[in-house]
Structure 1
Amino acid sequence: MFAKSFRVKSNVVMKGSDRRKLKADIAAAFPCLSSDELTELVPNKEDFSVVKIYAHKGDAVTLYVGHKNPLFFEVNKQLYPTVYMLWHYPAALPTFRTWPPVLHKLIGGADLMLPGVVVPSSGLPDVKQGDACAVTLVNNKAPVAIGTAVVSNAEMLSAGMKGRGVCVLHTYMDHLWAFGEKSCPPTLPDEEGEAEDVNGDKCVTDEQEESGEDEEEEEEGEQSAVQEQQASEPVKGQACPAVAEQDEGVVEKGDEEREEDQEDQKSPQEVMDTLLWQCFLLALKSKVKKAELPLLTSTFLRNHMVSCCPSGKQLDIKKSSYKKLSKFLQVMQQQHSIVRVKELTKGVESIVEVDWKSPELRFRVPEETCMEALPLGETPYHPPEITTLYLVSARLQPLFQDASKRKGAALQAAEVRSIVTDYVKTNDLVDETNKNYVRINPTLCDCLLEKSEYQEVETLKWDDLFSRTLGRMQECYQIVFPGQTPLIKKGHIEPIDVTVASRGSNKKVTIIKNLEVYALEPSAVASALQHRVQASSVMQAVPGTKDKVLVQIQGNQIQQVGHLLLDHYGIPRKYIQGLDKAPKGGKKK
């Protein structure tokens, strides 16, 4: 579920009542935990937040984050622990043991197959179908994966330990693990063997690296499959060396220490005031549109300011000197005149006006700031370059032989015209009496004419020559996303399909399909439309497909969908189908 990056929808601090409810849910799901352990997991006064995210396939997931690490995640009202939680309480779930090389497959998104399960002398854990369970490695009780049992333990044995055993939801080194401190699994001695690391080696500490002590290499076959993905023995609070090498944009240690020193000189209130000011300006600059005004202040905070908070930081107004959003906006109105706030309905404030010409808003948002403020897993979108190509067929190969174009070569229409023109002129096939015609030689006869035309057609017009050539070539398209290798696919590219359908009580809904073809994240499009039209949206799997998801939003929103796809994402109109069905505005009386 977390093998690919996910998108953060919201991140808020949990209230006391919500914490009590969460403790009750954890106690019900994991009865082996004592009351003291529950209090340690969900503290009453320390920071503990709830983060709502969308997985890469559109699944809505709730994370519960404490001690800087995600401790639980909730899917379909089912609560699961993360590896961070199980490293402290490994007995919270029944566990299956497997070999270290299998972890590489689990991290890649595979499920745990029964042939890879190591059956201990005490037998398999007692599980039923659908029960939450953990996966550990041989000689280390620290869990490295969490999932659900595909069948009961009795059915596993009766099937001869063949087939799927555990449907894996979360693993060590996936994107949910990366949302935390990126620490490595601890070494927990196994009852049936001596303790060792995840990959069976001893960890190399910084002191050992400095003194030149190296690890002993394992067998080459196992090392090539596991070495890059497995971790060494952890140092508490320290990220894995392998991950540190892979993470892009890692700041050097000296720079981090200088930044931390600067922040340490400020009080927590000053740090939060600065973050609040930055998120406020960035939200107005890059998120809020004039058409959205008036905008509820609560919506502005939840949907705009929070999403502009840099990754790794948490926006909490209560920790600022303002304490309340209303007081902060009042200062922005009186001292800076950036916004004007008005109480449109009793007790509910809205931003009714924004001074877009304010000096504070006329700054240029640095590209790094925009990138940092994007939700996790989301990057600035750039529309792809799409080019129609034509493949050289076996029948036409003699015509393209002089141009060194073999069967299967992909050419643009202009290249085809140029090659055909050069062939005609090289072989002196232009009709002397009328240069608008081309004389047919045996090669052109075999390539372009039907059998019934062999004896009848002696010349063709230039346009007919070109159209016949393209008509006998297989059409395909090349799609190029910025920074990626061009992809060539046969057939026509599917346009983004926008339609309006009726649901119960004759209610209209707008349905958007084929967003994935253009590398558009359905969850991001759904969220953007929600903010624009203030209507609920849902995502559903497209019947008959594996990875396609459609977006459905209430009402006839074709016009807003068109503005979003054309203006915001930059998709050419010819690749969007159904915009002509947008409702036309009636005449004002």
Structure 2
Amino acid sequence: MFIKPFKIKNNAQLKGSDTKRLKARIQNEYPNLTDSEYQMLFPSKSSITSVKVITHSGFVSSAFAVDKRPMFFEIEGGKLAPTLYTLWLLPRILPYFTTVTGVLQKLSNGADLMLPGVIPVGTGLRMYGNFKKGQLVAINLTFNKAAVGVGLLSRSSDDLYMAGGHGPAVKPVHLFGDKLWSLEPSVTLQIPTDTTVAAANIASKDDFPALGEEPKKKTNVEETVSETLPVIDNLQIEESVPQEEPKDSLDDILKNAFLSACKYKGKDLALPILTSSFYRTYVLEEAKCAIEIKQTKYKKVSTFLKEMADQGFIVVREETKGVDKIYSIDFEHSEIVDFIPDQALINDDTKEKETLFHSSMAELYLVTDDTLPFFTKFDYKRNEGMAIGNVRKLLREYCQKNQLPFTDQSRTLTVLDDCLRNICDGKESASLDEINSIFLRKMKHTYEMVGVNELKQSNKPAIQITVAKRSGNKNVTLVKNLESYGIILTEFIKMCKHGAAASTTIVKVPSEKHELLQVQGNQVKFIHDLLTEKYKISPKHINGLQFAKKTKK
């Protein structure tokens, strides 16, 4: 339903009366929600909008967004379904069906969640719950309780049990990464990390004993507990206050961040480098929490780096008065060699790399047996995918290469050779549009989940960086077209605030159609380096480096 791309018909803010009707519908369909949970869904003074869409199948639906983030959407039958954002906020609103990680990609390509991929809960008749056909359920993965999809049950729980592990279980209508999730790119969220789902029915090595050994007898957990523990009535247990682990001081966090920057980023640095740039761009990035240098014992960055130089980690020299640079790093220093970063910091770093860009659904056409004789001439294999534009491009190239003649003076109808004639159902001649339509009809249509940064950049507008004057004759740096490259603006803003130590916000300029990113001061060089080094965007797709502040030689 919403997994395939859809068209937005209109987007309008709800009036007070319409908002009351929407809340009444949600209360009617989800009566178990508490007042505090309703307040979480609709905070006071929040803006509620209705987005009318036309799905790929032609169904007219409405999605309801709170502060630009979609929270509910209509499915066939008029029922309101929660989005992933709602499920992440209120996980208990729907029952869950759990599957393994590899299945998510197949669901994103349009497949149903099949019964062999479902991890049953318990044993017996209720291993798939007690639900009716068509009931809304959430989908999550074995390693994370957080929902990754919303779907409709293909069959009742009883029918699922009687199916013997075969056939469809859930028909997805909304998945992580689809257009509904990224309806407003500026407020998208990634999947939150939750506890692991207990998969009780996954086979273990005890289920398959060595040849000749008797299998271990499985015991019911409830029976074991009841046999070993006496029944105690009116037992009162005082809750113990957990002991808090001692927290690292800001001084220790700062030094650990410095060691991490030297060990993992130092070899990639173009030395000499300004001490201020090294601290701002690399040391702060490695810190596991925000650091304010004035709250440490050092009070100043120069004092901290001077102490690190005295301890033999780095060599700092004063190039000109007040301008210090790092000329070398001792990677053989015992503390750098023995340094092991905090595991949580490694996970956060990995997570950041995964959330730099939005995901997107790419439309693909797969080579089938009917079209294989043609595509093998271009080294394509069966079930290999290509974009819709590539099909027409290859057809035009084939006709020109084989010099297929035209049948009319207007040069619209092409005489088909044996290869094209067999695929086009025996037609002797046809226009390029007609041939293309026949090919697309005989190919398999599907979708693939990709990062927007993986898509070709040739047809995208260049990122424009300019410098403008604001009140008080102060410079600000303006950046536009970031969204064309799938960049998550919230993450980009954090990096600008963190790395450039400058106020960063999104503004609307009357002369521009789209919103712009505004950074205080002339930060052209910093933003250019961030885009090329962190986001791996080619410099040829970035304009405006000439506006960078001129540095003294």
TM-score normalised by length of structure 1: 0.39
TM-score of the superposed pair, with normalisation by structure 2 = 0.41
Question: Greater RCO between the two (CA within 8 Å, min separation 6)?
Answer: 2
